[in-house]
Amino acid sequence: MVRLLQTLVALGYAQRVSRQDGYRLTDRVLGLPGSIRFVDHLVDAAIPHMSGFTAQHGWPLYLATLSDGALTIRHSTAPESPMAFEAAALNTRRSILTSALGRELLVEMDRLGMILDATHLCDDAFWDALKHIAAERKVTLSDVVQEVDQKRKQGNLSSAIRLFVLDHYRSHYSAGKARA
């Protein structure tokens, strides 16, 4: 069983969630011919509860899956909500580091004590996050990369950039929690 799980993880079909919760299938399974469509079953099961919540409270809800450093919206009650400010955006991808939906996921994961190994997120997510940081600081991307390079004590620049991005967002979340 252990070898089978290790093989599935190595091929990208499974991912270890935690020591306590074990493993889960990734979205890559959906690409297999005749594969199970767990996401479809999850959405089907969630729709009545999500719609009930939105009907009672008015707030739109989003159900998303995490894959390759981005969240893919699988269902939304935005069309049912008087408070929605955007369309449902089904099957659109949102960066986990720069989108509001991704930041909320990270805050909730932190609240629950879950750890996200962000070094496994796709490179596009890190470049998007780095561009976001540069825009936030009103400097160029080159300026940010140069700053990281100058402050780097060891290791390669790519690793230093990843750590810089993680530290940036970690400090933002900590500051946000302190204000709350």
Over the stretch 149-172, which tens digit does the pLDDT of each residue have? 888 887 777 778 878 888 888 887
pLDDT tens digits for range 96-128: 777 777 777 777 776 766 655 554 455 667 777
Higher pLDDT pick, 134 / 129:
134
pLDDT > 80? residue 78? yes
Q: Which amino acid is at 102?
A: G
pLDDT > 70? residue 6? yes
What is the per-residue DSSP string for 17-74?
EETTTEEEE-GGGGGSTT---HHHHHHHHHHHHHHHHHHHH----EEEEEETTEEEEE
What is the per-residue DSSP string for 154-166?
SS-HHHHHHHHHH
**CA-CA distance, 78 to 58, in Å (whole number)?**
9
- Domain positions in the chain are 1-32, 37-95, 96-180
Higher pLDDT pick, 145 / 114:
145
> What's the confidence (pLDDT) of residue 137?
92
Percent of the chain with pLDDT over 90: 6
pLDDT > 60? residue 82? yes
Average pLDDT for the chain: 76
pLDDT > 60? residue 34? no
pLDDT > 80? residue 148? yes
Q: How confident is the model at residue 94 (pLDDT cuts 50, 70, 90)?
A: confident
